[in-house]
A and B are shown apart, each in its own frame.
Chain A
């Protein structure tokens, strides 16, 4: 069975600082994708960043980057220069033949 664990229910960060959200997963598949989704108060799910498991290079999207450790089955999200608009729930997800989500981390960016 595929599982995704986010061990930080809530986090906060000062505006302009850097924060890292943790995610670990378990799967028996060798080929899969990992995702971070953002859910702002509007409740819409927005894809933040995607990582293919066969790629060793960590994905980067502007202020968002990941630290993908395949052997450790860890996939953390780093947000640099945090902005007030980054305040949201963040979900880590594992995708193979279906998609499974972690419980989410509620991030608050403080002015």
Chain B
């Protein structure tokens, strides 16, 4: 059972381009979480999705950022017209159901995508 897969691992974009980050959750997991980690800082929650639904996007910037988790395929975090301040590591985590519904539930993290805007 492969872990959470994020690709690409490294992504370089010029200012104004679009960045698309992909996250394939663990098999059987229907919940996906995206986090952003700025250099030398902690994890900041961005968005929580279930299949075809956005549950909580309170951490998403209002403009240029969007996320989806279609019925088939990976979850996508899309950043339009990237700026230097978007440079960060973006982590995806997945879980099978609500955290408290299973004694052994935990979030499994991908390796992250490091986005560099030049």
Contact = CB atoms under 8 A, between A and B. Distances in A.
Interface residues of B, number: 23
Given A32-B100, A97-B98, A98-B48, A43 B42 contact: no
B45 A44 contact: no
- The contact size tier of chain A is 20 to 34
B55 to A, nearest CB: 7
Nearest to B99: A95
A96 to B, nearest CB: 6
Interface of B: 33, 35, 41-45, 48, 55-56, 89, 91, 93, 98-100, 103, 105-107, 109, 111-112
Given A50-B106, A52-B103, 17 more contacts: A33-B99, A37-B109, A43-B111, A44-B112, A47-B106, A89-B42, A91-B43, A95-B99, A95-B100, A98-B45, A98-B48, A99-B107, A101-B42, A102-B42, A103-B41, A104-B41, A104-B43
